[in-house]
Chains A and B, each alone.
Chain A
Amino acid sequence: MARPTRKTSTAARPNRAPSRAAGSKKDKSGVVSGRPSESIGGQVPAPDAAGLIGEIRLAVGPAFSAATRLRVAGLNTAFEKEKLSITLDKPVVEEIRELFGERPLSASINDLLQGALVQHRLGLLVDQMEEEAGSASPEAYERVFAQWFDEE
Chain B
Amino acid sequence: MVRRGVAKAGPAPWLSLVLDSEGLWAVARNDSEDARAALSASRAAGIPVVVPSVILAETLHGDQRDARANQALKNLVVLPTTEEMARVAAVLKRKSGMRGVKATVDALVVATSLYLDGGAILTSDPDDIDRLAAAYLDLRIRAILV
Chain A residues with a Cβ under 8 A of chain B: 7-13, 16, 34-37, 51-53, 55-56, 59-61, 63-64, 68-69, 72-75, 118-119, 121-126, 129-138, 140-141, 143-145, 147-150
Q: Is the CB of B43 within 8 A of A123?
A: yes
Q: Is the CB of B43 within 8 A of A130?
A: no
Q: Is the CB of A141 within 8 A of B76?
A: no
A23 to chain B, nearest CB (A): 10
Rounded to whole angstroms, the CA-CA distance of A73 and B79 in the bound complex is 11
Q: Is the CB of B6 within 8 A of A125?
A: no
Q: Is the CB of B48 within 8 A of A11?
A: yes
Query: Which of A7, A34, A135 has most chain B Cβ within 10 Å?
Result: A135
Rounded to whole angstroms, the CA-CA distance of A150 and B6 in the bound complex is 26
Query: Which residues in A have their C-beta under 8 angstroms from that of B90?
Result: 59
> Chain A at the B interface: mostly helix, strand, loop or mixed?
helix
Query: Which residues in A have their C-beta under 8 angstroms from that of B58?
Result: none
Near A by CB (< 8 A), chain B positions 8-55 give 8-10, 12-16, 27, 30-31, 33-34, 36-43, 45-50
Q: Is the CB of A69 within 8 A of B82?
A: yes
Q: Known interface pairs A51-B137, A133-B36, A147-B144. Does A122 touch B9 (Cβ–Cβ under 8 Å)?
A: no
A-B CB contact pairs (8 Å), 14 listed: A8-B15, A36-B84, A60-B87, A74-B80, A75-B82, A122-B49, A126-B36, A129-B27, A136-B7, A137-B7, A140-B7, A143-B37, A147-B142, A147-B144
Within the complex, which residue of B41, B75, B83, B117 is in contact with A141, where a contact is CB–CB below 8 Å?
B41
Query: Which residues in B have their C-beta under 8 angstroms from that of A60?
Result: 84, 87-88, 91
* Chain B interface size range: 35 or more
Chain B positions 110 through 146: 1 when the CB is less than 8 Å from some CB of chain A, otherwise 0: 0000111100100000100000000111110011110
Within the complex, which residue of A37, A135, A147 is in contact with B36, where a contact is CB–CB below 8 Å?
A135
Rounded to whole angstroms, the CA-CA distance of A30 and B117 in the bound complex is 18
A121 to chain B, nearest CB (A): 4
Query: Which residues in B have their C-beta under 8 angstroms from that of A53?
Result: 136, 138
Q: Is the CB of A12 within 8 A of B77?
A: yes
Rounded to whole angstroms, the CA-CA distance of A126 and B72 in the bound complex is 10
Rounded to whole angstroms, the CA-CA distance of A134 and B127 in the bound complex is 29
Within the complex, which residue of A37, A61, A122 is in contact with B42, where a contact is CB–CB below 8 Å?
A122
Rounded to whole angstroms, the CA-CA distance of A75 and B14 in the bound complex is 23
Within the complex, which residue of A11, A63, A140, A145 is in contact with B87, where a contact is CB–CB below 8 Å?
A63
